[in-house]
Chain A
Amino acid sequence: MAVVGALALIAPHLYGNTSLLFTIMTFVVLAEGLNLMYGFTGYLPFGYVGFFGTGAYGTALLVLHTHLPVLLCVAGGGVASAVIALILGPLLRLSGAYFSIANLAASQIIYFVVSNPDLSSITGGPYGLKLQQIYDPPASYAAMAAILLLAIAIAGYFRMSRFGTGLRAMTEDPVSAALAGIDVVRQRLIVWLASALIAGLAGGTYVWNLSVFYPESVFNLQISVFAIVFALFGGVGTVIGPLIGAVILYSFYAVIGVSAPQYFELLYGLLIVLLVLFLPNGLISLLERKRIRVF
């Protein structure tokens, strides 16, 4: 964890493109947050971007309509996401694929509600929001780094603690886990809220950095897809898996994909197919096969 923190702080001095680094960090946070859900409960929130967007809009609206300091607004964005997660809590009753689709539908609903022209006076509708007054790249960069550390800390906690072992039991076999005294529903809900909180905080910090944004940029399904692919590629259920996955794949994207999106989509699709068929546990599993214990 210290290593990552140090890296995040030094990196801007080594490589001038801080906005790229910022985006990489954003995706690492998202991949880690998604990993919390998928890796530790087996539920894949296909609409993960919904929380990201909710955090973004929550923060933005707080900034525009109240005069609270920025950090509180970002925290508020995270809280907004957690609230939405609580409202969507009943979705956790569903089994795997149903949950994923319903989650996707829910995030699309949030997107349509937020971007609806009828609500422009509150949410800015399809025209987006502008937050010039708090534009502060170095501070938002630091904030994102802090959130990154938080995400890693939570993931580490899940992996190392008794709570985490309970989660893994729950993923494998909920019935036996319940018999063993693990409160399956409550634990799943806690992970769900934590995952949403991380995404919300990330969303809030992202728009803090960006300061002008449209609904499409924070509710884009592609963000969910990236988070899922990054986490899968690196290895779900571990802590450094999503980190490595996000860094490698997003850098790849930044180099090639931005200029030729269709080829990139093709490659991504192929990558996903090959991953699922041959390497469902991600890159990390290659190490684990050699009996190297991975954090």
Chain B
Amino acid sequence: MSLLEYALIGGILYGIFFSLVGIGLNLVFGVMRIINLAHGQFVMLGGFGAYVLARALHLNPLFGLPLAVLGAMVIGWPLYYAVVPRLQRSRDPEMLSFILFFGVAQIIEALVTLTFGADQRSLPSDALGSGNIVIIGQAFPDSWGVTVLVSAAAIAGLYLYFSRTRLGYATRAVMADRDEARATGIDVDRVSAIAFIIGLALAGIAGVFVPYMLGSVSPGIGDSLTITSFAIIIIGSLGNPLGTVVGGLVFGIGTMLMQTYYSSWSDLVPYALLVIIVLIRPSGLLGKAVRVA
């Protein structure tokens, strides 16, 4: 049944892309224990950045990738230092950061809506290649292929960062235990800020491809992207980058199967997955125990 094969392979491709979407959030949470509810909005910003480049400046949307990294640095550094140290000192950093980033999400969404209007925007469909790639007999648009390549490269890059660079080691130390890392002399704030920026950059990079994978980008997609990212990283265990890949695949295949067979229920998939995982195995598929009240 080629329908099933299409759903499965498409699900894998879709899932790898969503792993990229979620991995930034995972990094931010793992390092700072802060839930960035504005994550989806940053992805959306990446998408709009690419849109501006493509439509207004007639550049290939791939130029949106360095733009995303630059944007992450410009926005991330001040945002981190304005907000995080205060939060870490307050009485309930987890909940307050939650609410605060929700506020940030609202601000970003409002600013984008004011600037661009609430309509959906799409990118030129042949900017990333106008043919099809064929995998095991199923045809997918070239843009999906490019997306998956970039996603895989980004995830591999992150893995190399963690395993080969000193900064990566320091980041892993902070992820394991913030205070002990500080005791060993690691500048926790700097490492966290860099991790935050990397997280935002990854979100932006994913955003560049959103119009190709999801059809279009509009200011309102931020919220569902955030929840989907959450579902993915929770399924794959918070703080574990490999887990995000697993989570992404589960989500991708699940969504594709749902869309193929019961399409009117396909919106439910990320939410249902989230609730099920959280009730059955809150530590995720790959994780250790999570703090339970």
What is the 8 Å Cβ interface bit string for chain B, positions 225-258, against chain A (1 contact, 0 not)? Answer: 0010011001000000000000000000000000
Question: For window 60-102 of chain B, which residues contact chain A by CB distance below 8 Å?
Answer: 83, 86-87, 90-92, 94-96, 98-100, 102
In the bound complex, CA of A263 to CA of B111 (Å): 8
Q: Which stretch (A10-18, A68-76, A101-109, A203-211) binds chain B?
A: A101-109
Partner of A265, one of B35, B86, B113, B290: B113
Interface residues on A, range: 35 or more
In the bound complex, CA of A4 to CA of B95 (Å): 31
- A265 close to B99 (CB less than 8 A): no
A113 close to chain B: CB less than 8 A: yes
B114 cross-chain contacts in A, Cβ below 8 A: 262-263, 266
What is the 8 Å Cβ interface bit string for chain B, positions 259-277, against chain A (1 contact, 0 not)? Answer: 0000011011011101100
Partner of A101, one of B90, B230, B267: B230
A67 close to chain B: CB less than 8 A: no
- B107 close to A109 (CB less than 8 A): no
In the bound complex, CA of A92 to CA of B99 (Å): 19
A228 cross-chain contacts in B, Cβ below 8 A: 99
A232 close to chain B: CB less than 8 A: yes
B86 cross-chain contacts in A, Cβ below 8 A: 277
A91 close to chain B: CB less than 8 A: yes
Partner of A266, one of B87, B106, B230: B106
- B268 close to A112 (CB less than 8 A): yes
A5 close to chain B: CB less than 8 A: no
Task: Report the interface size for chain B: residues with CB under 8 A from the other chain.
Answer: 46
- A44 close to B106 (CB less than 8 A): no
In the bound complex, CA of A98 to CA of B234 (Å): 9
In the bound complex, CA of A225 to CA of B275 (Å): 20
Given A112-B265, A266-B111, A97:B35 Cβ within 8 A: yes
Given A42-B92, A101-B274, A269:B107 Cβ within 8 A: yes
Given A100-B98, A272-B100, A105:B107 Cβ within 8 A: no
B111's nearest neighbour on chain A, judged by CB, is: A266
Question: For window 263-289 of chain A, which residues contact chain B by CB distance below 8 Å?
Answer: 263, 265-266, 268-273, 275-277, 280
Q: How far is the CB of B249 from chain A (nearest CB, A)?
A: 20
A104 cross-chain contacts in B, Cβ below 8 A: 227
In the bound complex, CA of A280 to CA of B96 (Å): 8
- B113 close to A269 (CB less than 8 A): no
Given A93-B292, A97-B35, A270-B103, A44:B113 Cβ within 8 A: no
- B265 close to A270 (CB less than 8 A): no
Given A98-B278, A116-B264, A105:B293 Cβ within 8 A: no
A92's nearest neighbour on chain B, judged by CB, is: B293
- A232 close to B275 (CB less than 8 A): no
Partner of A276, one of B94, B100, B272, B275: B100
Given A91-B279, A265-B109, A276:B96 Cβ within 8 A: yes
- B271 close to A109 (CB less than 8 A): yes
Q: How far is the CB of A193 from chain B (nearest CB, A)?
A: 17
Question: For window 197-241 of chain B, which residues contact chain A by CB distance below 8 Å?
Answer: 223, 227, 230-231, 234
10 nearest A-B pairs in the assembled complex, by CB-CB distance: A272-B103, A269-B106, A269-B107, A266-B110, A265-B110, A273-B103, A105-B271, A276-B100, A105-B274, A102-B278
- A/B interface sample: 23 pairs, CB < 8 A: A42-B92, A44-B98, A90-B279, A95-B94, A97-B35, A101-B230, A101-B234, A101-B274, A105-B231, A105-B271, A105-B272, A109-B272, A112-B268, A116-B264, A118-B264, A118-B265, A263-B114, A268-B103, A269-B107, A269-B108, A270-B103, A272-B100, A276-B96
